Chain A
Amino acid sequence: MNDTAKKPAGKKRKFVTPKTAPYFFIAPAVLLFIVFTIYPVVSSLILSFQTSTAGVTSFAGLDNYRRLFADDLFYQALFNTFTILIVQVPIMLTIAVVLAVLMNSALLKMRSFFRIAFFMPAITALVAYAIVFMIMLDENYGFVNYALSWIGIEPIAWLNHPFWAKVSLIIAITWRWTGYNMVILLAGLQNISQDLYEAASIDGAGKVRQFFSITLPQLKPILLFTAVLSTIGTLQLFDEPFILTNGGPNNSTLTISLYLYLNGFRYFDFNYASAIAYVLVVIIALLSFIQMKVLGDDDDK
């Protein structure tokens, strides 16, 4: 008590000082992060170790995980997801790089128009886009088959054939995300110093040589970034198979996230769904780690 009395008035304890102020500024974000991210993350981890029958929840140890590793549908989902990943991501990134280089070219007129046009799919309402694809890809009345009939190609069961359904998904995802990646790559391109290109021209390097010897190496960190993002995105692929194919036919487009959703929201097995979520997280973490190792991450030491 004495101490307080002795303290000069100016040194009264304040909550907001220059030292504490930053914490107050970040508090709302941190609180939201805790409530909407940390809490669900922890909670679903706990869920994945429980089981629930007739509304009674009990601890189940590793049962859900054991079941998962013996579940042939999970392996099928894994297989489908990776098939789409391995085919789609390289195609999309290649197109994105090519587009980005074209967009960056000084020769191009109406540049912002094209940029916006290519970016548009990424911000298009998912439902609208999926329904348009559904209508276009319809086997009997769709525009795509109609157009193919002009050049004498038989109708293709785009959404009803195990192989073509995957192709349809790949086309849809590529349409939606190429522009997005293009914009990121474009930003990377603009950071490459013109001096390098000038020097190369003086040394007599052609455009193609410049692309492979300057553009690509310089773009590597950005490419890595888009590759990791796309990989994570594709591993979590949900919307397109959910709306376009419902995972069919015969589970040929069942993805891990769709299987997770079915278990949680269709079969009410939230515990099993949580286990799937955690296995998916581990897969994503591993893959991202490998990508960073393989593609190198030199400028980050």
Chain B
Amino acid sequence: MKIWKLTLASVASIGLLAACGGNDEGNNGGNNAGADANANANANAETEANDEGNNEAGNDSEGNNGEAADVSGEITVWGWNVAAASMEEAVEGFQEQYPDVDIVVEDIGREDLYDRLTVGFAAGGSGLPDITMIETDRLDNYFGEFPDGFVNLSEHGYDDHESKFPEAKAAAMKNADGDFLAAPWDIGPAGVFYNVPLFEEAGVNADDIETWDDFVEAGTTILDETGSQMVPIDISNDDALFRMMMNQLGTYYFDEDGNIDIHSDEAVQAMSVIQDLHAAGLVANTDGWDGTVTATVNNTVATVPFGVWYAGTITDQAPEQEGEWDVFKLPAFEEGGNRDANLGGSDLSVLSHTEHPEAAYAFVEYFTTETEPQMNALSEYGLFPSLVETYDDPYFEEEQEFFNNSPIWSLFADVAEGTLPANYTSDYARAFRYASDAQANVLLSETPPAEALEEAAGRIANETGRDQN
């Protein structure tokens, strides 16, 4: 009897776990709004219309109408939130060129989409769409683990479009062999959003902030004069600022050869600046995405260094603060140093089990390389295109009322073009987590940055077998 009970208890517990551990059933525990709320800022989500109208994208297709006639089929596309909506709106324009292709866009929550994608790949492709959206920093993770899951876009001729995108963005779309497995869509050029009234009250001029040292100094003044802190950081769960800084310095978790570089001198330098900010009392430790947004709109912080997509969040969450926000570029590490970095962005991939690869490719090509759908996604939903030719659109030069009448889009376009490449690698998810741990370690437990990052590097090396620099 005893043995029976024991066995029963064990079996019951295995059953629960197996559902998580096995790749068969795809039970994913609890993915839900909570996780979404907690989801770190990578999401280029939440952006809302900033519709200053003007959508004269013109540029009628360089149409390959010859082939178009043969291409047909029903294509399913996965995306989330405003991204799904902007694809939906592109269908009409697409069908003018490819009347026989039907596009069905399914709006699936971000975390949910990833879990379904993972499970679908693991199950050999069942239940997957023809096209899916994937964030740039997650691409290598999927390319590495499921290399056969993606259609090689280079074989369909996507290489011809390579020069249309910033180098760093295009590089992230390729697998180890240099083939395009994803098509670049939106991008997250980074800048510092700042609260104009707080700056004015403290007598700080944003133009004078050129280096991170200036930034700390300005922050101290603002804290003294207004009581507002300088930056929100979700200390234990997101290292966004650290990543932007590393990107500025031309490094990232891994170097271009895939070796662990999270403990490089540059990374230590970046973490030290964050430590300085924290030591000066300028960091508001926020809980998750909601905490960050709250801190932004209620004057807890005077600046938010983030990707361009945060513009949509501010306009959406604090419409009454129109005219009170503006943007400057990330401060450099030394005078005249690099101020360009990227945070987030997403892309479209065609999945290899699709029955209509031609049709799926046609949509991806249309959506990512034509200016019209890309400009629409920007003006209607704030999704910042990586397609460089869109930056010539007059829309970029327009002054944005909400942002203190500054032409912020052109500032971000400038950042996008100057951003250095980052090698995310297939072990990005691990590195991201251990970097956040290191950040918590430095800020909350006062471990020296070099030591905390060494520990993270060691941990990543242990688990991935990669070499450390």
Contact = CB atoms under 8 A, between A and B. Distances in A.
A280 B18 CA distance: 11
Interface of A: 36-37, 39-41, 43-44, 47-48, 52, 54-55, 67, 70-73, 126-127, 130-131, 134, 138-141, 157, 159-162, 228, 232, 235-236, 238-239, 242-243, 245-246, 248-251, 257, 260-262, 264-268, 270, 273-274, 276-278, 280-281, 284-285, 288-289, 292, 297, 300-301
A250 B146 CA distance: 30
A44 B6 contact: no
A285 B288 CA distance: 36
A126 B28 CA distance: 14
B25 interface: yes
Nearest to A242: B30
B113 to A, nearest CB: 13
Given A40-B15, A289-B6, A250 B441 contact: yes
A43 B22 contact: yes
Contacts of B437: 248, 250-251
Interface of B: 1-2, 5-6, 9-25, 28-30, 32-35, 37-38, 115, 118, 122, 141, 144-149, 235-237, 284-288, 291, 294-295, 300, 427, 429-430, 433, 436-437, 440-441, 444-445, 459, 462-463
8 contacts: A41-B14, A140-B295, A160-B236, A242-B30, A243-B32, A265-B29, A278-B14, A297-B2
A301 to B, nearest CB: 7
A232 B9 CA distance: 8
A223 to B, nearest CB: 15
Contacts of A284: 9-10, 13
Given A285-B10, A300-B1, 9 more contacts: A36-B19, A40-B22, A40-B24, A43-B22, A43-B24, A48-B21, A131-B37, A134-B37, A250-B445
9 cross-chain pairs, A with B, having the tightest CB-CB distances, nearest first: A249-B236, A248-B236, A40-B18, A243-B34, A250-B440, A277-B17, A277-B21, A249-B440, A268-B145
A48 B21 CA distance: 9
Contact of B21 (A44, A127, A157): A44
A270 B444 contact: no
B147 A54 contact: yes
A243 B30 contact: yes
Contacts of A126: 30, 32
A262 B28 CA distance: 11
Given A134-B34, A301-B1, A40 B10 contact: no
A140 B233 CA distance: 13
Contacts, number: 189
B17 A257 contact: yes
Contacts of B35: 242-243
A71 B462 contact: yes
A253 B443 CA distance: 17
Contacts of B12: 232
Contact of A127 (B20, B30, B295): B30
Contacts of B37: 131, 134
A55 B148 contact: yes
A287 to B, nearest CB: 10
A276 B20 CA distance: 11
A274 B291 contact: no
Contacts of B237: 246, 248
Given A243-B38, A248-B237, A268 B141 contact: yes
A55 B2 contact: no
B19 A265 contact: no
Contact of B30 (A67, A238, A288): A238
Given A160-B287, A236-B13, A127 B38 contact: no
B29 A242 contact: yes
Nearest to B444: A249
Given A243-B38, A249-B235, A288-B9, A266 B433 contact: yes
A134 B145 CA distance: 34
Nearest to A142: B287
Nearest to A262: B433
Listed residue (B23, B149, B237, B444) with the most chain A CB atoms within 10 angstroms of its CB: B23
A246 B118 CA distance: 20
Nearest to A135: B290
Contacts of B28: 265
Contacts of A270: 21-23, 122
B235 A238 contact: no
Listed residue (B16, B20, B237) with the most chain A CB atoms within 10 angstroms of its CB: B20
A259 B444 CA distance: 22
A262 B284 CA distance: 27
Contact of A273 (B21, B147, B235): B21
Nearest to B122: A270
A54 B284 CA distance: 41
A41 B11 contact: yes
Contact of A161 (B147, B291, B444): B444
Given A40-B15, A138-B287, A264 B21 contact: yes
B124 to A, nearest CB: 10
B429 A44 contact: no
Contact of A236 (B16, B284, B285): B16
Nearest to A159: B287
B9 A274 contact: no
Contacts of A235: 13
Given A40-B25, A134-B34, A249-B440, A54 B118 contact: no
